[in-house]
Amino acid sequence: MPLLDNPTLNVIQLGFGFFATFFAFNSQGFIEEAVIDSAADSGSINKHAGYYSLAIIYAVFTVANFAAAPIVDILTPKWAMVFGSCCYTIFQVGFLFLNEWYLYASSALLGFGASIIWTGQGSYLSQNCTKETTSRNSSMLWAMSESSLLGGGIFLFIVFTVQGAQDQIPSSTINILYSVFTVLSLISTVIFALLRAPSYPAVVDRKNYGKLVASTFKLMLTKKMILLAFVFAYTGIEQSFWTAIYPTCISFTKQLGNNTNALLALNAICTGFGQIAAGVFFGLLGDKSRKIGRDAIILCGTIVHLVVYALCYINFPQDSSLKKTDEMGGLIQPNLAIALIAGGLLGFGDAIWNTQIYSFLCDTFSKQSAQAFSLFKLYQSALSCAAFFYAPVLQLYWHLVILVVTSLFAACCFFYVERISRETSSIRDSYSFTDDKMAKLRGDVQYNINSNEIQNSE
């Protein structure tokens, strides 16, 4: 008998695919601004093209989520992820011959592909889970995919340490890095193409495409999904914080050090370690996490993030999200150790929120998984996009106020939705139990009647 069943093996292979994809994409994200800034010196590209590219990605990602569910259902999750992975590859190739218009076009394509690959991931995951394995599989998948942050951070740190550059990245190094990223994206495409059929496939009516689109809007207006919208929105705001705004604070706080590229790589390592630690921890808990309860775990994630926001206030100057500064932090002189610890806790808290959302959606919307995950990514990407738009004009402390308020409100919404879902499940189980008792009773009555008839005939 195999040690791992087919659904678990499918999730592990899915995790390897996302590890390869986001080892490449997250790593290039950390150096994209430095690469474009270097190219801008020669006049070949606008120095703000990186911000425009990011805005295009998230804007298209947001809109494309409305159509992602039917596309995934039509293509099947496997081939949808293959298509999405190809979009990531096309984007990476562009940095080998950097061109502004190609960058914008490939960013739009990447935004569309991202909505497809993430919705496909959620749908494929749910079709390889039961109620007993959703928490374990979600945590395991998250740990595998987010370990790309740790691997990518180590990779970049080694490259930048050997190179010794502080701000500029040589073109020869850029070509080597993006060649590696392109190859990794191609490898992930092959991994997705070799995925087996899910163990518990969903039945999809592909004769009515309009119905598939309408089902996403219908689900969007349900009570649970309206409340979950605030939960999803918070994950988008905090995602923009740990992926862009917080690294910028580290880079712009001069008292932390000189080699900004190396410091960003160190932060990526710490964030990745936090993501993996949370995924592994809750994956090892397995069924015990169901006894603890998703609401209790989300409470833990909320507390972790509140601690991080307090550390950010204490450790960083208020202008550190906007410009290079030599100023003191809110209460102390900026400290690199505190900055890296906060980065690790940001990753740990982010993993808690996302794994529990994955688990909840797989459990509650198993028959509408593509629609549910597309709405998750819709709200998440929309608020990430909004955060990137207001980031250039808000000081760090205003970011922290927004994060504190939205985290508390999102936690309250999740607690309420989890409670009503638990009550609905209990009612359903009680009806099922009553139906079983009635069926048994009818069987006993029928048996007695048949027995009496036999005795009377004798």
Alpha-carbon radius of gyration of the chain:
25
In this prediction, residue 305 carries a pLDDT of: 95
Quick: pLDDT tens for 12-29. Answer: 999 999 999 999 998 887
Identity of the amino acid at 272: G
pLDDT band at 232 (very low <50, low <70, confident <90, very high): very high
Identity of the amino acid at 44: S
| Spatial distance between the Cα atoms of 23 and 181, rounded to a whole number of angstroms | 8
Burial of 347 (0-12, 13-18, 19+ CB in 10 A): buried
Lowest mean pLDDT among 17-31, 33-47, 116-130, 335-349: 33-47
Q: What residues does each domain of the chain span?
A: 6-434
Please state, as a whole number, how many other Cβ atoms lie within 10 Å of the Cβ of residue 73.
Answer: 23
Q: What is the mean pLDDT of the segment spanning 175-198?
A: 92
Q: What is the mean pLDDT of the segment spanning 125-142?
A: 81
Q: What is the mean pLDDT of the segment spanning 193-222?
A: 75
In this prediction, residue 308 carries a pLDDT of: 94
In this prediction, residue 453 carries a pLDDT of: 47
Q: What is the mean pLDDT of the segment spanning 252-277?
A: 81
User: What percent of the chain stands above pLDDT 70?
Assistant: 83
Give the distance from CA 152 to its chain's centroid. Answer: 17
In this prediction, residue 221 carries a pLDDT of: 86
Task: Judge whether residue 337 has pLDDT over 50.
Answer: yes
| Spatial distance between the Cα atoms of 88 and 1, rounded to a whole number of angstroms | 38
**Mean residue pLDDT across the chain:** 81
Quick: pLDDT tens for 248-260. Answer: 888 788 888 776 6
Q: For 6-434, CATH number?
A: 1.20.1250.20
pTM, full prediction: 0.75
* Beta carbons of 316 and 249 less than 8 angstroms apart: yes
In this prediction, residue 445 carries a pLDDT of: 44
Task: Judge whether residue 430 has pLDDT over 60.
Answer: no
